[in-house]
Structure 1
């Protein structure tokens, strides 16, 4: 039985497009309001700063999208990045080695992702519970290792490239664009990508189609860990330090929100990686716009929460469409 035969197209497979289109319309509305009431917002340096702020969120959203497409979720992703950043920064501070340090970040983050993947894919544990527990473990480990103090004094040769411009763009933005491109190719142009969508749509049918479901799910968490490692490098380079404070519960919400707003279904099997990147840009733009309007933190949270609930409702509509 072919994958195409096992997973026919339905209304649900097209409904994901509603949310990216809605996000684009909301972006246009926000930009129009800012153009009228805060024209200084459109200064080139400010726009570049927004792209830099969105870059880390976009990389994490790429990782989260692979997990969500497979029907899972990874609440530990930002905390994975924070702990990996701490480990790499501690090594670089002790040795001055700016080559092995980033490798430590990537390997540590992928190892944490592998632990999540084995628990969910092979042991059949609930993704929410597993990654919530891993979030607690990684956050606790980062606080314990640092004593809640930032790890600074990382080598200049590691930090300096993040403060330079390449063709007018900071390195963080270039890394985010390259990562998004790789994610798009992986999910849209490879056998693994098709398998992951199939598992997210119907795991039992995927098994009938001889797709190795447990392995596919486990790899999705390892890929998410890879994105966390890349995000750790970006955060450490931009801040010239690492600490347990690099991650927070609100960051988890932002990553999940970016995916949902961008059309990644919380039910699995639907959405595109580029939509998650668009969602990250929207979340960053909205935060900056609300700050520029001098709206209080609590009202800011209310507005963002209402928007997220609306997009989740659209996701539910799409799921029912199938």
Structure 2
């Protein structure tokens, strides 16, 4: 009798261990598993999907949003959110083209882009850290202000670059890989190292997990917040340079429109918690790819562009539901 009870106990223990392992596997690698499932499904649905040119086209399409999403990930890990990324991209692009045309120097234009993006992020961080304004409100104000300034400077229209070599930044290739893809991969690697191998990254995670405890640990919370938003602004400026270079122009009214929603969607799909303290850069990377594959599949299947937003919204809701169940 004792042996039977012991066997039953061992079986229950094994089942419990298996469940815990599966639960851990899902919580750690759910976005990669979802990516593989969607990738295989897309391959079955459309033979054109696996074409190498189509694969590079997907990577090109997600490169700009992907770079922005990396910055959004850092902000959300720290417990905030940045709604201004699209408008800041438009403003940065306008200022970049103006600097390019005025100086004739690509280097000066790039430096201006970095300065504008970082300054906008710095202001966001300053409002959140020193002004004690909720990140949603602070960045919402920046979103309106940056778009307004861009429209005013460009008279509501587009501005084109007058230095032809500027287009080489986004339209050149290293072997068969376009530069924007390379930039996206490099930025992913750098932000991954920053968040997982440095003190700044640990502080950002701590801040998102428990701000009061982080403050009591003698960590300069205000500096971390300002640094987080400034980093997001820097990554937006990189995205702005790529977008401006790709077309050699920038639209003050439409460039960057709804980019914040796409970036937030990619970050949430990647497993980053809205409440902060938890998230992975690699998760965001695969979240961006999932969005890219879904957009590509809807285009290949001639799904109305008006319904594509519905699909993104549905995916965000499903991702949040799964987060709550973990």
Establish whether TM, by shorter chain, passes 0.5: yes
In structure 1, what is the equivalent of residue 47 of structure 2? 39
Change (3 A) 1:303 1:182: same
Query: Is structure 2 residue 64 aligned with structure 1 residue 81?
Result: no
State the structure with bigger RCO (CA 8 A, min sep 6), 1 or 2. 1
More off after superposition, 119-128 vs 33-42: 33-42
Q: Distance in 1 between matches of 2:28 and 2:103?
A: 45
Q: How does 1:1-322 map to 2 (within 5 A)?
A: 18=26, 21-244=29-252, 245-249=254-258, 251-318=259-326
Q: Is the 8 A contact 1:16 1:315 kept in 2?
A: no
Q: Deviations over 1:194-230 (max 9, x none)?
A: 1111111001111111111111111100000000111
Q: Is the 8 A contact 1:51 1:173 kept in 2?
A: yes
Change (3 A) 1:264 1:175: same
Q: Distance in 2 between matches of 1:135 and 1:168?
A: 36
More off after superposition, 235-244 vs 69-78: 235-244
Q: Distance in 1 between matches of 2:246 and 2:25?
A: 33
SS where residue 99 of structure 1 aligns? helix
Q: What is the deviation of 1:302? A: 2.3
Q: What is the deviation of 1:282? A: 1.1
Gaps of 5+ in 1: 1-14
Q: What is the deviation of 1:317? A: 3.2
Q: Deviations over 1:147-204 (max 9, x none)?
A: 2322113412221242221032111111111111110000000111111111110011
Q: Distance in 2 between matches of 1:154 and 1:279?
A: 36
Q: Is the 8 A contact 2:113 2:237 kept in 1?
A: yes
SS where residue 147 of structure 1 aligns? coil
Q: Distance in 1 between matches of 2:117 and 2:101?
A: 19
SS where residue 246 of structure 1 aligns? coil
Q: Is the 8 A contact 1:30 1:289 kept in 2?
A: no
Q: State the aligned residue count.
A: 304
Q: What is the deviation of 1:95? A: 2.7
Q: Deviations over 1:218-266 (max 9, x none)?
A: 11000000001111111111121112221113x2111001111111111
Any runs of at least 4 consecutive aligned residues in structure 1 with deviations exceeding 4 A, and if so which?
15-20
Q: Is the 8 A contact 2:77 2:208 kept in 1?
A: yes
Q: What is the deviation of 1:20? A: 7.0
Q: Deviations over 1:19-55 (max 9, x none)?
A: 7744333333333333233212222122111111111
With normalisation by structure 2, the TM-score equals 0.88
Change (3 A) 1:205 1:107: same
Q: What is the deviation of 1:18? A: 4.4
Change (3 A) 1:37 1:145: same
CA RMSD of aligned residues (A): 1.9
Q: Distance in 1 between matches of 2:30 and 2:305?
A: 24
